[in-house]
Amino acid sequence: MTLSPLPTRPPQAVTEPAVASGPTRPRRSRPGFLREQISGWGMIAPAAALLLLFVFLPAIMGFGLAFTNARLISPRPVEFVGADNFARLFADPTFWRALLNVTYFAVIVVPVQSALALAMALLINKKFRGVNFFRTIYFLPVVTSMVVVSLLWMFMYRREGLINELLSTFSFGLIQGADWLNDPATAMPAIIALSIWQAAGFHMIIWLAGLQSVPGELYEAAQLDGASHWQQFRFVTWPGLKHTRSLVLVTITIQALGLFDQVSVMTQGGPLDSTTTIIYEAVRSGFKQQETSYASAISLVFFVLVLLVSAVQRYLTREKD
Amino acid sequence: MKPTFISTNLTSLGTMAVRILFAAVAVFPIVFMLVSSLKPDQQIFGDMSSVAAFLPIGNISFDNYAAVFDRVPAARFLINSIGVSAVTVVLGIFVNSLCAFALSRMEVRGKRIVFSAILATLIVPFQTLALPLVWWVNQLPYFELDGFSLEFSKGWLDTYQVQIIPFIANAFSIYLYHQYFESIPKELDEAARIDGAGWFKIYRQVVMPLAGPATATVAILTFLPAWNSYLWPLMVVQSEELRPVMIGIQYFFQLNVSWGEVMAYASLITVPVVILFIAFQKSFINSIASSGVKG
């Protein structure tokens, strides 16, 4: 948009008699219109330029780089190589293993974490003495960085670590703990448990927002009709959370598919690729091996996967009336 | 059927027990971390099988913390993270609120398209952008004043600005401010305009002072990922003197691992965030719960 700072009409106004009868005509002649446009665009510009530079352009570039042989630092010029990167990716068993691992992770984390987060939100929804104390405690793991959490749980998951001691104490010595992170069978379940522990509090807040928006009169009416707690939840709360449900579902799924920090700190994808993930593979090739193009191809596949999964979820949770 | 006095009391007692159980699960690893940071390694392992694991008893000292500062340039990392997070938060609040102000309260041509384009960036996970972004920031020009001459170089890798500038503009912050600004009566703007105030003055003196809760939320939601960032600095920062706190963790696994020191470092980089969160806790949870997302 070209806007002259002079107190005249914008240049395009000259060529605009055809649209002059449009609905925007009266606004145009309002005093201060031009000034409002200039100030407005000036205020939008910094954020818009930054998003353009650091979100839109890299997204487009990633798309383009995936079809080239670009490396992070390379004397050779970048060449177009067609779908070579994708052919290599789909022939790589590690990629399929990563896809399987991420699916396993998401299939457990999405329902369990949403349900626990909802339970937590219901526990602290109504005001009671100490409600703020519990809200803060439940949110505390979210404030703790995933890197610190991974480190801490790595320590707790050792063979003679805290988790095994707790399991043994609470089962009166019946359960002999595993060497959680060094066994291909238990490494992913161990990562799943700590991921739910860390992130449930965040989705609790989203559920809480939904719960607060259900009108209180509905509960009063239900109580007058003699509805039990369960019936109130089933027929008042649950329908009232329709939009929140799909929001929680989509955000947890995207977060689950993007699993990276925990794996990077705790297992580096091992043992035997049992915890490697799509993003971990992308970072491994893009950063450690500096193959920007191959990593971009993985990122692109990941993005398509995220889009597909959220589209399917949107379709399944669409309004059916 | 009417609940009797005793059964209601039993139910609420049961609910409280469940609340406490959840709280215990949420908090036990953090308590374990803080308590272990005060103990020598031998005692950490010795206390593991009893309730002493969660109690600061026995041989308690700050020796681990002293050792952390010997092993890692912890002070440097803390200063880097505080600086990077603070600048990102301050610039983020300014840039995003300014943009949301124009989108919400001014009649700007084409603002609907711009707003939709901004919201569209929410569906792109950062992880998909990270790798092309590394390549891209490595192509960007960089100017530096060296004495009196302007030095020109290519590539932003290994700088402070590469840790700050890409994260200033944020669609979710713009969205939160936009929602909040919509709830402030527009008559205030008109009154100010009649008094001859310009748009920037309305933004600064009328609207922003009323947007405190939105600012608190945006501040926390910008601060947390900035302080916790790990993937990005891992890829773009090589020099030790530019590294943030999360990267410091790698230092503890190079030689013999002392878990007491690891726990001390983990506590050191967690406690400031927890204190900050508790200070802002009320306005944060309330404003997310009310303005963020309606069910």
What's the CATH number for A93-316?
1.10.3720.10
Q: Does A160 touch chain B (CB under 8 A)?
A: yes
- CA-nearest of A179, A156, A177 to B45 is A156
B142 contact residues in A (CB cutoff 8 A) = none
Last residue of a domain, one of B12, B37, B61: B61
CA atoms within 13 A on the CB side of B79: 7
pLDDT band at B91 (very low <50, low <70, confident <90, very high): very high
pLDDT band (50, 70, 90) for residue A290: confident
pLDDT tens digits for range B213-237: 888 888 888 998 999 998 899 888 8
Residue B184 lies in domain: 64-292
Pull the structure tokens for residue A126.
């109504």
| Tokens at B241, concatenated | 């003197």
Determine the pLDDT at residue A7.
40
CB contact under 8 A, B19 and A243: no
* Contact call for residues A151 and B36 (beta carbons, < 8 A): no
Q: Amino acid identity of A311?
A: A
Find where tokens 């020191």 sit.
Answer: B261
Please tell me whether residues B153 and B239 are part of one structural domain. Answer: yes
Measured between its terminal Cα atoms, the distance across chain B in Å is 31
In chain A, what are the domain boundaries?
A: 24-84, 93-316
Structure tokens at B80: 């880097």
Q: What is the largest CA-CA distance in chain B?
A: 85
Contact B270 A145 (CB under 8 A): yes
Distance CA B162, CA B243 (A): 12
**CA-based radius of gyration for chain B:** 25
Could you give the number of structural domains in chain B?
A: 2
Quote ipTM for the complex: 0.84
B positions 53-72 inside 8 Å of A (CB): 53
State whether B262 and A151 contact (CB < 8 Å).
yes
Q: Are A155 and B259 in contact (CB under 8 A)?
A: yes
Contact B290/A at CB under 8 A: yes
* One-letter amino acid of A9: R
Residue contact A51–B118, C-beta within 8 A:
yes
> Quick one: B46 and B109 in the same domain?
no
Task: Indicate if B35 and B162 belong to the same structural domain.
Answer: no
Question: What confidence tens digit (pLDDT) does each residue in A90-112 have?
Answer: 988 999 999 999 999 999 999 99
Summary mean pLDDT of chain B: 85
Give the E-state strand segments of chain B in sequence order: 141-146, 149-154
A207-254 per-position pLDDT tens digit: 888 888 788 888 888 888 888 888 888 888 888 888 788 878 888 888
CB contact under 8 A, A70 and B200: no
Q: What is the DSSP letter of B202?
A: I
Mean predicted confidence (pLDDT) in A142-158: 90
B171 and chain A: CB distance < 8 Å anywhere? yes
Contact B164/A at CB under 8 A: no
Tell whether B87 and B191 lie within a shared domain: yes
Do B248 and B112 share a structural domain? yes
- On whether the CB atoms of residues A109 and A194 are closer than 8 A, the answer is no
Size of interface A-B (CB pairs under 8 A): 278
Task: Report the run of H or E that residue B92 belongs to, with start and end.
Answer: helix B74-105
CA proximity to A221, closest of A232, A234, A209, A211? A232
Placement of tokens 């914008």 in the chain: A10
At A32 the pLDDT is 78
Which amino acid would we find at residue B162? V
Contact B285 A135 (CB under 8 A): yes
Q: CA–CA distance from B193 to each of A5, A116, B104, B203 (Å)?
A: 20, 50, 16, 11
